[in-house]
Structure 1
Amino acid sequence: MNTSFKVLISVFCVTMLITSCSRKKDTFINRNFHALGTKYNILYNGNIALEKGRETVDNAATDNYWQLLPIERMQVSEDIFFPGQSKNQDFERAEEKAIKAVQKHGMNIKGKEYNPQIDEAYLLLGQARYFDQRFVPALEAFNYILYKYPASDKINTAKVWREKANIRLENNELAIKNLKRLLEQEELEDQDLADATSILAQAYINVKSKDSALTQLAIAADFTKKNKEKARFNYVIGQLYNEFGKKDSANLAFDNVIDMHRKIPRPYYINAHLAKSNNFDMENGNQIEFLEYLTDLEEDRENRPFLDKIYYRIAEFHRANKRDSMAIAYYNKSLRTNSGDKDLKSRDYATLGDMSFDNAEYKLAGAYYDSTMLNMKLNSKPYRVVKRKRENLEDVIYYEDIAQANDSILRLVNLSEVERLAYFTTYTEELKVLAEAEKEKAEAEARRKASGSGLKTSENTNNSKSSLGSKSVRATPGGAKTSQESDFYFYNPTTVAYGKSEFVKVWGDRELKDNWRLSDAKGKGSNSSQDIDVAANATDDERFDPEFYIAKIPSDQKVIDSLAKDRNYAYYQLGTIYKEKFKEYELAKVKLETLLQNNPEDRLILPSKYNLYKIYIELGLSSKASAMMDEIVNTYPDSRYAKILLNPKSEFALDENSPESLYKKIFKQFGDQQYAEVVTKAEQYITQFEGDPLVPKFEILKASANGRLNGFEAYKKGVNYIALTYPNSEEGKKAKEILKTVIPILAKKEFVSNDTGNRFNVLYSFTNEEKDQIEEFVKKLDNSVSKVSYFNLSTSVDFYDANTTFVVVHGLKSIQGAAGFAEILKENKDKIDRDFYSISSPNYEIVQRHKNLNEYLESQ
């Protein structure tokens, strides 16, 4: 009896279990069985995976406190993933759990869902996709909840998440409309209200309605239960108030963050302090107390990870109070923290560059601007601003290098044999001292390593462990130990430092790039003729021998004269640059006065004196200005400068003999195809105005005219000359770009097949003896062409070479059509009967460029 009863009970339990697993029967047991399994098993594990993934995303995000923070801390990646791929395994697991809940426990019977947990499964699915940055599939999941489960207790949460996805998809106006309707129609609970208002604030920020965003953020900050969110919302409120210029309101928001202190992550706390400090009133505030406040931040051990920003803020304080030396010290301390904040580094370098620029230390400023650009987003607006500043310094750095290098060499040239020996003896003695110090340091390091290795060997022997011998154990970044040879070069910081020092001695400061050994691989502003280290190929004995260096001093008078000529021209350029571009009249005065003391070429003397006259006027040195004016007028009475000084109101600077006026004249001649005349006059003016800033413009005009006269090779030669002779002028830079990008294209001289063309021309050739016939011929041709309505035809008169001019009909559609059109013109009323050539437009360009008409005719 008992046995039968047990069997019946077992059968009944098994039957109940099997029937309760059914997803197609709406019974109390079925509903609760699947609901409990969904909630406490699948969704529980799915939500754990979701939270783990959210924590990963939160830790991976990097906030840029220099800009307005986004409301939600999530860094959107631009990486592209194929459908079905996931960026994060935790979100993939959460999505799998959500899908499993729907597939295994969904009770969709006749279109109605009877498992009350399925709406939460779809919410988990949407959230997993959202944080995995698959916003369109996430939006589909949230919309499905709103469509299928309108009575769900998660309906408002789903609406908020749908708008979060809409905002990520840049549907900001739609999100604002839906969220405003939600807030008007529903009574949201605390966290739902905080989520709705915070994401509405983000939408307002995105559409530039930041005043509306402030109101919503204030509500979100009051109702959120999460301390991280409360701190973030208050910090953004402070940033917005700062944008509106309301510093007191901003400080109240930052104080709300500071008051939370240890309840929130440290970055919020420190950056709130720093943001508040930026609002300090430098004129009316107590500067002593404020400096103590900044010092307390600096000395707090907990703030060590944020010293880069604290040092920067202290530097800004000292700079505002015109304590430049203290400011520079703290900017450099900020840089030495090796911060990973590129925005901060760019600010440090840019400020140091600006300070060096203000102190007329242009070469140093250029170096700082180079470092600034390395820490900025390429081609961003701030990058372009700094790049323009750096380019303005290009000429200064280039000519300063030449002037300094050549001055140094010429000073050595002018020393007596005894003075040279004394100078280089002192120099080599200093080298020996440095070498000895390096050697002692290396030996001490070697002894230390050997001692440590021996100790380890002894300890290992005493402990019956495997001996490492002469090997030392090096900790890898991951914390594991790797046995390596103790004398391996890159594991010894002393030998590495020594190697770096030797590299700089031999090769100089080289940029990391391909072919770095080549002389043209040097950094900007270097003077390649002087950059080669004389000790590059020297032995140790030669390096410490004064006679080795003395032998390197040039003795050939041609070389010495060339150095002096280059040095003087550099001084002239520096004087004009400091005067015209930077308004640094004292620096310009020193450069030009030094130039006149160095026996310059005649072409530099008069313009230097005229520029000095202008500088003396600007500096209020009236007696010097009068003396310089008398010297120019008396010594160079027929010069343009003398005429300007004698009658400044007549504006001789712009008279018909000024470089500007003459340039305009020959430019007009260039447009009129008078190329031979342009070349002749350009050569004359280049010699006449040598040293004038307009000379490179005459050169480029001459090169272009030569190209039209004599073809591609003449143009290439002219452009190459400009690039080499005027490397730092605008024309020189353009010439370099032309050589790099345009010349390889123009060099192609192979004719293309007529079958590939879609525009063709008819050429009528005239020699110089027939030039007087061209005008009448063109009239007749234009009259005939005007009667043709089925083609868009035009005519032109084109220079070909010194002996030939073409009259061209443009706009025909085939090579046969061009020839046929010319034959028809022979029979029309005007009787245009003359030898012609038919040619496609691409081939006509090649013929004009390379002057190879005969080759074209032979190829047809």
Structure 2
Amino acid sequence: MRKTSNFLIFLFFLLLGCSSERNTFTNRLYHNVTARFNAYFLAKEKIGEAEASFKDAYQEDYTQVLPVYFPIDSAAVDANAEKLNEARELAGKAIDWHRISQWVDDSYFLLGLIDYYEANTDDAINTYKYLNVNSKDDEVRHQALIQLLRIFVEQRKFDDASYVIDFLSKETDISKENKQTLYKTLAYYYEARHEKDGVIAALEKCIELTTDNHEKSRLNFILGQLYQRAGFDALAYDFYNDASEGNPPYELAFFSQLYAQQVAELEKSKDLKKVRDYYDDLYKDRKNTDLRDVVLYERALFELKQHETEDAIDLLHRAAQEPGKLEKQKGYIYQKLAEIFFDEREDYRASKYYLDSALQHFKPTDASYSALSSKKEILDRYTANYELLTENDSLLRLSQMSPEAQEEVAENYIRAEEERLIAEAQAKTEQKNSGIFDNLLAFGGNTAASTFYFDNPTAVQKGEIEFFRNWGNRALEDNWRRKSSSFGNTVSSVPTTTDTTATKQISQEDSIRGILPNKEALLANIPKDQEKLAQLNDQMEGARLELGKVLFFDLDKPDLAREYLTDLLQFHPDSEKKSEAYYTLYLIEKETGGSTAYYVSRLNNEFPDSPFTKSVNNPLSENSGTAANKTAEANYKKAYHAFQSGDYNTAKSLTQTTLDNYPLTSVSDKLMLLDIMLTGKLAAAERYQERLEEYIENSENPELTKMARNMLEALTGEKAEMQMTTSDTTAVSDSLSVTKTKEAVASDSLDVEKQIYKLNKAQTHIFILAIDPEVITETKNLSAELENFHDKNFQDSRLRTGNLSFTRNQSILLVSPFSNAEKAMDYRRKFLTEFKYQGLPEELKKRSFVISIQNFQQLNKRKDIAEYEAFFKSSY
């Protein structure tokens, strides 16, 4: 009975201690133990499992400087949603069920961490701010502040991050573990700000406090990379050696040893054979089977430094064929091939295809993806036009040959393809029979492997070619001998007689295996009628212009661009694209210091009304600012004085010259009206009346409009009809019958815009930002800010900026030239998202637009930006 009584008493006090409200020693002890080793412990374990999964999902890219914190893939977070939800429930229970325990704040920290991983950053920030203000546990407060710092760095809120850093610098008694995390997060802060010295200093402090050997190896490797890129090879060597210690992952150990050798010996060694032997030994080491592509890539980089470009290309091709383990490595291999063919060979077509392959191995989130994609878009345009021009040129040449000569070309091509396929098969046969055990095969002799037909690629290839000669391209199906089966299912156009080595290397993997075009199919592609020949010529005309523009504006190859444009003028003397070709050649000569006079003369003589002619006569740099206004004002005074003196011809010449050369100045409206007055003196009355009516309709200057109305009244003797006021509505029997709906008005307006403005996206374009009068003073430094924006984002585009008076109260900012609408729209998109200027309202930025040169002339005449904006929104 005594034992039972004692047990019941103990049970009573135990149940009393389970209360989450009573703040007694027994209560606190119970809740502290239960929270720590139950709910909180399990929640932390679940988060640890999720973090390990995040790490496993990320593949380190050792060829680049490793990030301080590896990025967390949202897909990996989604895959661990169940674990994170369980951790959230457990942390919530640790708070709700054990409110008086010491682990409540720690559990709140875990909730903030879960919110951070699930991208609920606002909730995470609020949780950590709450802990900083309310928690009495300095350990937890410091953890919360460090995690808050990491979030601010990720969001690029560097002012907030600096505030947190300053706050933490004044804190005392920060634990060793928190100091280690703090220094790592400081390194992350400096990494985001591209301050390498700060990263190095923070990581060195972090390593001193790090106890995890794998983490220490990784941080040492990052420091080795940073010092190697800074040129401090001795320091890099020490850190790479330190990274090899601590039993790191094999890939990290491999790259540490590889780079340590590079900074210690390979880069400085004059014994090239020793260096090459080192790479050969690495390649032969069976432990490096999965990293052979890396070894070949590094060897190729070494050969490039020795100016052995051919050897480097061969090594890179071999590296691309290795299976490999690191996905991005293949991307770097193809990227390097693209760079070689772009920079050294100037083979932009081959470079494009290598870039295609490189981008398949990168993710859109990778740092180099955006730049490579932009470069690829340019090379895509070049390649499409180059291949079109080359193919059409070959077809036209073939069309001029006799039928016998055409047949001979087709037969030679088929024969060359057969030889190529057999040579590839023989190479495979040699590779297959080169094993060291080939002479020990059971059936006697050393040719046993090649005696069986299907084990001999050469025999198989010859058999396929022989079958093709007899039967053509037959599908794999029953009754294939039937005559009704169609021949030549695979039709290839006649290729050019020459081909580059790079093209052959690219196409080897995709080459046709045993299927060749027959002679009839090849000959059928040769054009014979004049309509088809004219179509090919038209395509070549456009291709030559586009190649000239791409080479000059995008690839900065003015000499090559000049060749294509002069070919256009030579082979297409009646081309509608001559004016743009003249203009581009004018820009090329201006860029290279050549003579521009010839093309200015051609434009003025052949295309006097072309917008390109007006552009060369009125360069943007000469048309901007005070100088243009002063010149225009002086010419206006001279013209008006000549008008008053009766010298109408001189006055007319002055007004037209000034309007052509300086179309957008503060006196343009006055010059236009004076020119109309001179029309009244020198031309028929009908023309005078027509121009007055146009001026009244389009002018935004009320005083000059009133003057024009008076002139019109004096000419016609009739007053202009007054507009109907709202009091006249009684005269309308049914307002609905005479009033158009808003949709109908908008439709009519759009029709007018389409008639006035012509959509031509291939034409040279201008970017325009209209500046309202009320913000002119706030945007006085806008042009300078744009120049900085261009230097940062469009270094190779040679963009020019001008600030012009459009109407009396409104100015416009122009950026030019863009070779087509796509380039202009790309600029506008980047302008809207990345250009920041305090005095420029976002609403005004969104009203920016792009316009072709031809449409700009119309806009300049009509002075109606709203009208063009409607056309822009519907067309672009």
TM-score bin, normalised by smaller chain: 0.5 to 0.7
Q: Does 1:773 align with 2:678?
A: no
Sequence identity percentage: 15
TM-score (norm 1): 0.53
TM-score (norm 2): 0.53
Q: Does 1:663 align with 2:663?
A: no
Correspondence 1:219-368 to 2 at 5 A: 219-260=205-246, 263-273=247-257, 275=259, 282=267, 285-337=270-322, 343-357=328-342, 358-359=344-345, 361=347, 363-368=349-354
| Kept in 2: contact 1:95–1:129 (CA 8 A) | no
Alpha-carbon displacement from aligned partner over 1:768-808 (angstroms, at most 9, x marks no partner):
982243456679999998369xxx99989xxxxxxxxxx99
| Kept in 1: contact 2:221–2:239 (CA 8 A) | yes
Amino acid at match of 1:266: Y
Alignment partner, residue 388 of structure 2: 398
Q: For 2:237 and 2:22, how far apart are their aligned partners in 1?
A: 62
Q: For 1:392 and 1:90, how far apart are their aligned partners in 2?
A: 51
Amino acid at match of 1:224: T
Distance change in 2, residues 1:377/1:411 (3 Å): farther
- The root-mean-square deviation of aligned C-alpha atoms, in Å, is 6.0
Q: Does 1:20 align with 2:17?
A: yes
Q: For 2:243 and 2:719, how far apart are their aligned partners in 1?
A: 78
Q: Partner of 1:415: helix, strand, or coil?
A: helix
| Kept in 1: contact 2:600–2:613 (CA 8 A) | no
Give the Å deviation of 1:849. Answer: 4.9
Amino acid at match of 2:82: Q
**Correspondence for 1:384 among 360, 374, 391:** 374
Q: Does 1:103 align with 2:96?
A: yes
Correspondence 1:806-845 to 2 at 5 A: 816=724, 843=748
Alignment partner, residue 84 of structure 2: 91
Q: For 1:221 and 1:784, how far apart are their aligned partners in 2?
A: 70
**Correspondence for 1:160 among 135, 139, 146:** 146
**Correspondence for 1:150 among 136, 139, 161:** 136
Amino acid at match of 2:43: G
| Kept in 1: contact 2:316–2:337 (CA 8 A) | yes
Correspondence 1:644-683 to 2 at 5 A: 653-654=598-599, 656=601, 658-659=602-603, 662-667=606-611
Q: For 1:75 and 1:304, how far apart are their aligned partners in 2?
A: 29
**Correspondence for 2:193 among 183, 189, 207:** 207
Distance change in 2, residues 1:339/1:425 (3 Å): closer
Distance change in 2, residues 1:218/1:56 (3 Å): same
Q: For 2:268 and 2:474, how far apart are their aligned partners in 1?
A: 50
| Kept in 1: contact 2:491–2:522 (CA 8 A) | no
My pick for the range that moved more, 195-204 or 159-168, is: 159-168
* Unmatched segments (≥5 aa) in structure 2: 427-472, 478-484, 494-502, 504-511, 579-592, 616-679, 710-717, 732-743, 757-876
Q: For 1:388 and 1:783, how far apart are their aligned partners in 2?
A: 42
Alpha-carbon displacement from aligned partner over 1:680-706 (angstroms, at most 9, x marks no partner):
xxxxxxxxxxxxxxxxxxxxxxxxxxx
Distance change in 2, residues 1:392/1:88 (3 Å): same
Alpha-carbon displacement from aligned partner over 1:530-555 (angstroms, at most 9, x marks no partner):
xxxxx9xxxx9xx9987x56985879
Amino acid at match of 1:92: N
Aligned length: 573
Give the Å deviation of 1:56. Answer: 0.9
| Kept in 2: contact 1:424–1:549 (CA 8 A) | no
Alignment partner, residue 184 of structure 2: 198
Distance change in 2, residues 1:330/1:106 (3 Å): same
Give the Å deviation of 1:19. Answer: 1.5
Amino acid at match of 1:93: E
| Kept in 2: contact 1:400–1:574 (CA 8 A) | no
Q: Partner of 1:63: helix, strand, or coil?
A: coil
| Kept in 2: contact 1:377–1:383 (CA 8 A) | no
Distance change in 2, residues 1:314/1:159 (3 Å): same
Q: For 1:278 and 1:504, how far apart are their aligned partners in 2?
A: 58
Q: For 1:808 and 1:13, how far apart are their aligned partners in 2?
A: 112
Give the Å deviation of 1:225. Answer: 0.4
Q: Partner of 1:75: helix, strand, or coil?
A: coil
Alpha-carbon displacement from aligned partner over 1:193-212 (angstroms, at most 9, x marks no partner):
21111111212222343322
Distance change in 2, residues 1:254/1:105 (3 Å): same
Alpha-carbon displacement from aligned partner over 1:298-323 (angstroms, at most 9, x marks no partner):
33333333333332222222222233
Q: For 1:14 and 1:195, how far apart are their aligned partners in 2?
A: 44
Alignment partner, residue 671 of structure 2: none
Q: Does 1:77 align with 2:62?
A: no
Q: Partner of 2:136: helix, strand, or coil?
A: coil
Alignment partner, residue 30 of structure 2: 33
Q: For 2:178 and 2:21, how far apart are their aligned partners in 1?
A: 35
Distance change in 2, residues 1:577/1:32 (3 Å): closer
Amino acid at match of 2:251: P
Distance change in 2, residues 1:432/1:384 (3 Å): closer
* Unmatched segments (≥5 aa) in structure 1: 108-114, 438-494, 511-525, 527-534, 608-647, 672-765, 797-806, 824-838, 852-860
* Greater Rg by CA: 1
Amino acid at match of 2:336: T
Amino acid at match of 2:607: Y
Amino acid at match of 2:179: L
Asked which structure has the greater RCO (Cα within 8 Å, sep 6+), the reply is 2
| Kept in 2: contact 1:166–1:175 (CA 8 A) | yes
Q: For 1:183 and 1:42, how far apart are their aligned partners in 2?
A: 33
Q: For 2:38 and 2:162, how far apart are their aligned partners in 1?
A: 37
Alpha-carbon displacement from aligned partner over 1:201-241 (angstroms, at most 9, x marks no partner):
21222234332232111010121001222122223323433
